Copies of this chain bind each other. A is one copy, B any other.
Amino acid sequence: MSASAMESSTSIRRKITLNDIAAGCGVSRATVSLVLRGSPLVNKHTRARVEEELRKQGYVYNRAAANLRRRTSSSIALVLNELGNPFFAEFAAGVDETLGEAGFVTLLGSTGESVEREQAVLSSLIEHGPGGIILSPAEGSDAERVLAAVGAQTPVLLFNRELGGNLPEYAHWDRLMLDNQRGARIATEHLIAQGHKRIAFYGGHGDSSSCRQRHAGYVEAMNAAGLPIAPRWRVETLPTRMDAARACGELFAAKPAPTAAVCYNDAVALGLMLGLNQRGIQPGREFALTGFDDVAEAAFSTPPLTTLATDPRARGRQAAQLLLARLRKPQAEATTTVAPVTLVIRESSGAPHAT
Protein backbone atom coordinates (compact mmCIF):
# COMPACT_ATOMS: atom_id res chain seq x y z
CA MET A 1 0.00 0.00 0.00
CA SER A 2 2.68 2.47 0.95
CA ALA A 3 4.67 1.28 -2.05
CA SER A 4 1.81 2.01 -4.41
CA ALA A 5 1.35 5.40 -2.77
CA MET A 6 4.96 6.22 -3.44
CA GLU A 7 4.69 5.05 -6.99
CA SER A 8 1.69 7.23 -7.63
CA SER A 9 3.60 10.35 -6.65
CA THR A 10 5.34 12.37 -9.32
CA SER A 11 8.13 9.86 -9.85
CA ILE A 12 9.41 9.28 -13.36
CA ARG A 13 6.94 10.98 -15.65
CA ARG A 14 4.69 8.76 -17.59
CA LYS A 15 2.72 10.34 -20.35
CA ILE A 16 -0.37 12.10 -19.01
CA THR A 17 -3.65 10.85 -20.46
CA LEU A 18 -7.29 11.74 -20.24
CA ASN A 19 -7.64 9.17 -17.47
CA ASP A 20 -5.10 10.97 -15.32
CA ILE A 21 -6.94 14.23 -15.73
CA ALA A 22 -10.32 12.61 -15.11
CA ALA A 23 -9.07 10.93 -11.94
CA GLY A 24 -7.35 14.14 -10.87
CA CYS A 25 -10.56 16.15 -10.74
CA GLY A 26 -13.18 13.51 -10.22
CA VAL A 27 -15.00 13.48 -13.53
CA SER A 28 -15.15 10.91 -16.30
CA ARG A 29 -12.83 10.52 -19.23
CA ALA A 30 -15.67 11.45 -21.55
CA THR A 31 -16.21 14.78 -19.87
CA VAL A 32 -12.56 15.70 -20.13
CA SER A 33 -12.67 14.81 -23.79
CA LEU A 34 -15.64 17.12 -24.25
CA VAL A 35 -13.79 19.93 -22.53
CA LEU A 36 -10.80 19.44 -24.81
CA ARG A 37 -12.95 19.76 -27.85
CA GLY A 38 -14.73 22.83 -26.50
CA SER A 39 -18.13 21.20 -26.45
CA PRO A 40 -20.98 23.47 -25.30
CA LEU A 41 -22.44 20.54 -23.36
CA VAL A 42 -20.17 20.80 -20.37
CA ASN A 43 -21.03 22.95 -17.43
CA LYS A 44 -19.04 26.15 -17.06
CA HIS A 45 -17.92 25.21 -13.61
CA THR A 46 -16.68 21.71 -14.46
CA ARG A 47 -14.95 23.05 -17.52
CA ALA A 48 -12.95 25.44 -15.38
CA ARG A 49 -11.98 22.67 -12.98
CA VAL A 50 -10.89 20.39 -15.80
CA GLU A 51 -8.91 23.08 -17.54
CA GLU A 52 -7.11 23.86 -14.33
CA GLU A 53 -6.19 20.20 -13.97
CA LEU A 54 -5.01 19.97 -17.57
CA ARG A 55 -2.70 22.85 -16.98
CA LYS A 56 -1.51 21.52 -13.66
CA GLN A 57 -0.58 18.10 -14.94
CA GLY A 58 0.91 19.41 -18.17
CA TYR A 59 -1.34 17.35 -20.40
CA VAL A 60 -0.54 17.08 -24.09
CA TYR A 61 -3.16 15.93 -26.54
CA ASN A 62 -2.50 12.69 -28.38
CA ARG A 63 -3.71 13.48 -31.83
CA ALA A 64 -2.70 10.10 -33.22
CA ALA A 65 -5.05 8.32 -30.86
CA ALA A 66 -7.83 10.74 -31.66
CA ASN A 67 -7.29 10.31 -35.38
CA LEU A 68 -7.41 6.57 -35.01
CA ARG A 69 -10.74 6.67 -33.27
CA ARG A 70 -12.29 9.34 -35.46
CA ARG A 71 -10.88 7.89 -38.66
CA THR A 72 -9.58 11.25 -39.67
CA SER A 73 -6.18 12.60 -40.47
CA SER A 74 -4.42 15.79 -39.52
CA SER A 75 -1.46 15.56 -41.81
CA ILE A 76 -0.66 16.12 -45.47
CA ALA A 77 2.32 14.61 -47.22
CA LEU A 78 4.51 16.87 -49.31
CA VAL A 79 6.75 14.99 -51.71
CA LEU A 80 9.21 17.00 -53.74
CA ASN A 81 11.61 15.98 -56.45
CA GLU A 82 14.29 18.35 -55.20
CA LEU A 83 13.97 20.16 -51.92
CA GLY A 84 17.42 21.68 -52.17
CA ASN A 85 16.26 23.80 -55.11
CA PRO A 86 15.18 27.24 -53.83
CA PHE A 87 12.10 27.13 -56.03
CA PHE A 88 10.82 24.07 -54.20
CA ALA A 89 12.04 25.29 -50.84
CA GLU A 90 9.89 28.39 -51.26
CA PHE A 91 7.05 26.22 -52.45
CA ALA A 92 7.38 24.03 -49.36
CA ALA A 93 7.38 27.08 -47.12
CA GLY A 94 4.12 28.22 -48.73
CA VAL A 95 2.52 24.82 -48.38
CA ASP A 96 3.51 24.51 -44.75
CA GLU A 97 2.26 27.98 -43.97
CA THR A 98 -1.23 27.33 -45.28
CA LEU A 99 -1.50 23.80 -43.95
CA GLY A 100 -0.40 24.99 -40.53
CA GLU A 101 -3.14 27.60 -40.47
CA ALA A 102 -5.68 24.92 -41.31
CA GLY A 103 -4.46 22.77 -38.42
CA PHE A 104 -2.61 20.27 -40.54
CA VAL A 105 0.96 19.18 -40.18
CA THR A 106 3.29 18.62 -43.14
CA LEU A 107 4.93 15.25 -43.67
CA LEU A 108 7.98 15.92 -45.76
CA GLY A 109 9.57 13.68 -48.33
CA SER A 110 12.34 14.50 -50.76
CA THR A 111 12.99 12.15 -53.65
CA GLY A 112 16.17 13.57 -55.14
CA GLU A 113 14.70 13.17 -58.63
CA SER A 114 14.80 9.37 -58.35
CA VAL A 115 11.77 7.32 -59.28
CA GLU A 116 12.81 4.51 -56.92
CA ARG A 117 13.14 6.84 -53.97
CA GLU A 118 9.83 8.36 -54.88
CA GLN A 119 8.22 4.94 -54.61
CA ALA A 120 9.88 4.28 -51.27
CA VAL A 121 9.02 7.69 -49.89
CA LEU A 122 5.40 7.47 -50.96
CA SER A 123 4.91 4.01 -49.47
CA SER A 124 6.48 5.10 -46.24
CA LEU A 125 4.46 8.28 -45.96
CA ILE A 126 1.19 6.62 -46.84
CA GLU A 127 1.53 4.35 -43.80
CA HIS A 128 1.22 7.41 -41.63
CA GLY A 129 -2.19 8.00 -43.08
CA PRO A 130 -1.96 11.50 -44.50
CA GLY A 131 -5.23 13.10 -45.52
CA GLY A 132 -3.75 13.90 -48.90
CA ILE A 133 -0.55 14.22 -50.87
CA ILE A 134 1.04 17.09 -52.70
CA LEU A 135 3.43 15.64 -55.22
CA SER A 136 5.93 17.18 -57.54
CA PRO A 137 6.93 14.05 -59.39
CA ALA A 138 10.46 12.95 -60.08
CA GLU A 139 11.35 13.02 -63.73
CA GLY A 140 10.15 9.86 -65.43
CA SER A 141 7.61 9.01 -62.77
CA ASP A 142 4.42 7.47 -64.07
CA ALA A 143 0.82 7.37 -62.93
CA GLU A 144 0.55 3.61 -62.50
CA ARG A 145 3.44 3.36 -60.08
CA VAL A 146 2.36 6.34 -58.04
CA LEU A 147 -1.17 4.99 -57.87
CA ALA A 148 0.13 1.62 -56.73
CA ALA A 149 2.09 3.27 -53.94
CA VAL A 150 -0.57 5.63 -52.64
CA GLY A 151 -3.76 3.72 -53.40
CA ALA A 152 -6.97 5.20 -54.69
CA GLN A 153 -8.15 6.39 -51.28
CA THR A 154 -5.81 9.28 -50.67
CA PRO A 155 -6.29 12.38 -52.79
CA VAL A 156 -3.26 13.60 -54.69
CA LEU A 157 -2.45 17.03 -55.98
CA LEU A 158 0.10 17.04 -58.76
CA PHE A 159 2.31 20.07 -58.92
CA ASN A 160 4.58 21.36 -61.61
CA ARG A 161 4.94 18.24 -63.72
CA GLU A 162 2.74 15.77 -65.50
CA LEU A 163 3.02 12.07 -64.80
CA GLY A 164 3.77 9.61 -67.53
CA GLY A 165 1.24 6.86 -68.25
CA ASN A 166 -2.39 7.46 -67.51
CA LEU A 167 -4.67 7.43 -64.60
CA PRO A 168 -7.81 5.34 -64.21
CA GLU A 169 -10.73 7.73 -64.24
CA TYR A 170 -11.86 6.83 -60.72
CA ALA A 171 -8.85 8.61 -59.32
CA HIS A 172 -9.74 12.27 -59.00
CA TRP A 173 -6.31 13.82 -58.93
CA ASP A 174 -6.13 17.57 -59.14
CA ARG A 175 -3.32 19.39 -60.83
CA LEU A 176 -1.58 22.71 -60.36
CA MET A 177 0.68 23.66 -63.21
CA LEU A 178 2.58 26.71 -64.27
CA ASP A 179 1.63 28.40 -67.48
CA ASN A 180 4.84 27.33 -69.14
CA GLN A 181 3.69 27.74 -72.68
CA ARG A 182 2.27 31.20 -72.28
CA GLY A 183 5.31 32.26 -70.27
CA ALA A 184 7.77 31.23 -72.93
CA ARG A 185 5.53 32.80 -75.55
CA ILE A 186 5.49 36.23 -73.94
CA ALA A 187 9.23 36.06 -73.29
CA THR A 188 9.74 35.34 -76.98
CA GLU A 189 7.33 38.10 -77.96
CA HIS A 190 9.25 40.48 -75.77
CA LEU A 191 12.51 39.63 -77.53
CA ILE A 192 10.82 40.00 -80.89
CA ALA A 193 9.47 43.40 -79.85
CA GLN A 194 13.04 44.39 -78.99
CA GLY A 195 13.86 43.81 -82.62
CA HIS A 196 15.39 40.33 -82.50
CA LYS A 197 14.72 38.05 -85.45
CA ARG A 198 17.05 35.10 -84.87
CA ILE A 199 16.06 33.70 -81.51
CA ALA A 200 17.18 30.37 -80.03
CA PHE A 201 15.59 28.15 -77.41
CA TYR A 202 18.31 27.21 -75.02
CA GLY A 203 18.70 24.45 -72.43
CA GLY A 204 16.68 21.77 -70.72
CA HIS A 205 15.76 18.59 -72.50
CA GLY A 206 12.70 17.12 -74.12
CA ASP A 207 12.03 14.42 -71.53
CA SER A 208 10.62 17.03 -69.24
CA SER A 209 7.04 18.13 -69.80
CA SER A 210 7.74 21.65 -68.62
CA CYS A 211 10.54 21.97 -71.14
CA ARG A 212 8.33 20.76 -73.97
CA GLN A 213 5.63 23.24 -72.98
CA ARG A 214 8.04 26.14 -72.89
CA HIS A 215 9.47 25.19 -76.20
CA ALA A 216 5.96 25.07 -77.65
CA GLY A 217 5.32 28.62 -76.44
CA TYR A 218 8.49 29.78 -78.10
CA VAL A 219 7.55 28.10 -81.38
CA GLU A 220 4.09 29.62 -81.17
CA ALA A 221 5.44 33.16 -80.83
CA MET A 222 7.99 32.70 -83.60
CA ASN A 223 5.37 31.35 -85.96
CA ALA A 224 2.93 34.10 -85.10
CA ALA A 225 5.60 36.66 -85.97
CA GLY A 226 6.43 34.84 -89.17
CA LEU A 227 10.01 34.26 -88.06
CA PRO A 228 11.89 31.14 -89.14
CA ILE A 229 13.43 28.71 -86.66
CA ALA A 230 16.71 27.03 -87.54
CA PRO A 231 17.11 23.52 -86.10
CA ARG A 232 20.47 24.42 -84.57
CA TRP A 233 18.79 27.13 -82.54
CA ARG A 234 17.54 24.39 -80.23
CA VAL A 235 20.34 23.50 -77.83
CA GLU A 236 19.64 20.81 -75.21
CA THR A 237 21.48 20.78 -71.87
CA LEU A 238 21.01 19.51 -68.37
CA PRO A 239 18.95 22.00 -66.42
CA THR A 240 22.03 23.15 -64.51
CA ARG A 241 24.18 26.21 -64.66
CA MET A 242 27.36 24.30 -65.31
CA ASP A 243 26.09 22.36 -68.25
CA ALA A 244 24.45 25.42 -69.72
CA ALA A 245 27.76 27.29 -69.54
CA ARG A 246 29.52 24.40 -71.24
CA ALA A 247 27.14 24.16 -74.18
CA CYS A 248 27.35 27.85 -75.06
CA GLY A 249 29.51 27.21 -78.10
CA GLU A 250 26.84 25.16 -79.83
CA LEU A 251 24.75 28.29 -80.10
CA PHE A 252 27.28 29.98 -82.34
CA ALA A 253 28.02 26.94 -84.45
CA ALA A 254 24.85 27.81 -86.34
CA LYS A 255 25.20 30.24 -89.22
CA PRO A 256 23.64 32.69 -89.05
CA ALA A 257 24.00 32.72 -85.26
CA PRO A 258 21.05 33.83 -83.14
CA THR A 259 21.13 37.24 -81.47
CA ALA A 260 18.98 36.20 -78.54
CA ALA A 261 17.82 33.15 -76.63
CA VAL A 262 14.81 32.11 -74.60
CA CYS A 263 16.27 29.92 -71.86
CA TYR A 264 14.59 26.96 -70.23
CA ASN A 265 15.02 28.41 -66.76
CA ASP A 266 17.08 30.84 -64.71
CA ALA A 267 19.80 28.35 -63.87
CA VAL A 268 20.33 27.74 -67.57
CA ALA A 269 20.17 31.44 -68.35
CA LEU A 270 22.73 32.30 -65.71
CA GLY A 271 24.95 29.52 -67.02
CA LEU A 272 24.61 30.83 -70.54
CA MET A 273 25.64 34.30 -69.33
CA LEU A 274 28.72 32.72 -67.83
CA GLY A 275 29.50 31.01 -71.12
CA LEU A 276 28.96 34.21 -73.06
CA ASN A 277 31.30 36.12 -70.77
CA GLN A 278 33.94 33.47 -71.26
CA ARG A 279 33.69 33.95 -75.03
CA GLY A 280 33.93 37.71 -74.62
CA ILE A 281 30.30 38.31 -75.53
CA GLN A 282 28.52 40.78 -73.27
CA PRO A 283 25.15 39.36 -72.21
CA GLY A 284 22.36 41.94 -72.42
CA ARG A 285 24.26 44.15 -74.85
CA GLU A 286 25.66 41.83 -77.49
CA PHE A 287 23.32 38.95 -76.87
CA ALA A 288 19.87 39.06 -75.27
CA LEU A 289 18.39 36.34 -73.12
CA THR A 290 15.53 35.53 -70.81
CA GLY A 291 15.10 33.01 -67.99
CA PHE A 292 12.22 31.33 -66.21
CA ASP A 293 11.47 31.17 -62.43
CA ASP A 294 12.77 34.50 -61.15
CA VAL A 295 15.08 33.01 -58.55
CA ALA A 296 16.45 35.47 -56.02
CA GLU A 297 19.68 35.71 -57.92
CA ALA A 298 18.04 36.85 -61.15
CA ALA A 299 17.58 40.37 -59.84
CA PHE A 300 21.24 40.64 -58.90
CA SER A 301 23.14 39.05 -61.72
CA THR A 302 25.11 41.23 -64.11
CA PRO A 303 23.19 42.16 -66.08
CA PRO A 304 19.98 41.55 -64.12
CA LEU A 305 17.98 38.82 -65.78
CA THR A 306 14.69 39.27 -67.61
CA THR A 307 12.65 36.31 -66.52
CA LEU A 308 9.22 34.88 -65.72
CA ALA A 309 8.16 35.14 -62.11
CA THR A 310 6.23 32.17 -60.78
CA ASP A 311 6.06 33.15 -57.11
CA PRO A 312 6.70 29.70 -55.72
CA ARG A 313 5.60 30.58 -52.21
CA ALA A 314 2.22 31.68 -53.48
CA ARG A 315 2.06 28.46 -55.51
CA GLY A 316 2.68 26.54 -52.33
CA ARG A 317 -0.17 28.28 -50.58
CA GLN A 318 -2.36 27.68 -53.59
CA ALA A 319 -1.47 23.99 -53.73
CA ALA A 320 -2.38 23.61 -50.08
CA GLN A 321 -5.68 25.41 -50.66
CA LEU A 322 -6.52 23.17 -53.58
CA LEU A 323 -5.83 20.04 -51.60
CA LEU A 324 -7.82 21.28 -48.61
CA ALA A 325 -10.71 21.99 -50.95
CA ARG A 326 -10.47 18.46 -52.28
CA LEU A 327 -10.63 17.07 -48.75
CA ARG A 328 -13.87 18.94 -48.25
CA LYS A 329 -15.36 17.46 -51.44
CA PRO A 330 -13.76 14.10 -52.13
CA GLN A 331 -16.11 13.29 -54.96
CA ALA A 332 -15.88 16.54 -56.92
CA GLU A 333 -14.56 16.48 -60.45
CA ALA A 334 -10.79 16.65 -60.83
CA THR A 335 -9.56 20.16 -61.49
CA THR A 336 -6.58 21.52 -63.34
CA THR A 337 -5.30 24.92 -62.32
CA VAL A 338 -2.83 26.78 -64.43
CA ALA A 339 -1.02 29.45 -62.46
CA PRO A 340 -0.13 32.57 -64.40
CA VAL A 341 3.45 33.67 -64.73
CA THR A 342 4.52 37.27 -65.19
CA LEU A 343 7.33 38.65 -67.25
CA VAL A 344 9.83 40.66 -65.24
CA ILE A 345 11.80 42.83 -67.63
CA ARG A 346 15.36 43.60 -66.59
CA GLU A 347 18.49 44.36 -68.54
CA SER A 348 19.46 40.99 -69.99
CA SER A 349 16.97 41.30 -72.83
CA GLY A 350 18.19 44.38 -74.66
CA ALA A 351 17.78 45.26 -78.34
CA PRO A 352 20.01 43.56 -80.90
CA HIS A 353 23.56 44.80 -81.19
CA ALA A 354 24.66 46.37 -84.44
CA THR A 355 27.23 43.97 -85.88
When C-beta atoms are compared, the residue in chain B nearest to A106 turns out to be B108
State which of B68, B126, B270, B297 has its C-beta within 8 Å of the C-beta of A65. Answer: B68
**Complex Cα–Cα for A151 and B153 (A):** 35
Which B-chain residue is minimally distant from A123 (CB atoms)?
B60
A109 at interface by CB-CB < 8 Å: yes
A105 to B124, CA, bound (A): 8
Taken together as a complex, chains A and B put the C-alpha atoms of A67 and B63 apart, in Å, by 12
Residues of B within 8 A of A100 (CB): 109-110, 120-121, 124
Residue A15 lies at the interface, judged by CB distance under 8 Å to chain B: yes
Decide if A129 touches B62 in the complex (CB within 8 Å): yes
Q: Which residues of A187-206 are within 8 A (CB) of B?
A: none
Name the residue among A67, A68, A84 with the largest chain B CB count within 10 angstroms: A84
B-side contacts of A96, CB under 8 Å = 83, 108-110
What is the interface of chain A, defined by CB distance below 8 A to chain B?
A: 13, 15, 58, 60-65, 67-68, 71, 74-75, 78, 82-86, 88-90, 92-93, 96-97, 100, 103, 105-110, 112, 120-121, 124-129, 151-153, 241, 270, 274, 277, 296-297, 300, 302, 313
In whole Å, how far is A96's beta carbon from the nearest beta carbon of chain B?
5
Identify the closest chain B residue to A103 (Cβ): B124
Instruction: Report the nearest B residue to A58, measured CB to CB.
Output: B151
How far is it, in angstroms, between the C-alpha of A192 and the C-alpha of B15 when the chains are bound? 57
In the complex, besides A92-B110, A93-B110, A241-B300, 20 extra interface pairs with C-beta distance below 8 angstroms are A58-B151, A60-B127, A60-B151, A61-B127, A63-B127, A64-B128, A64-B129, A75-B107, A83-B92, A84-B86, A92-B92, A96-B108, A96-B109, A100-B121, A100-B124, A105-B109, A105-B124, A106-B108, A106-B109, A302-B302
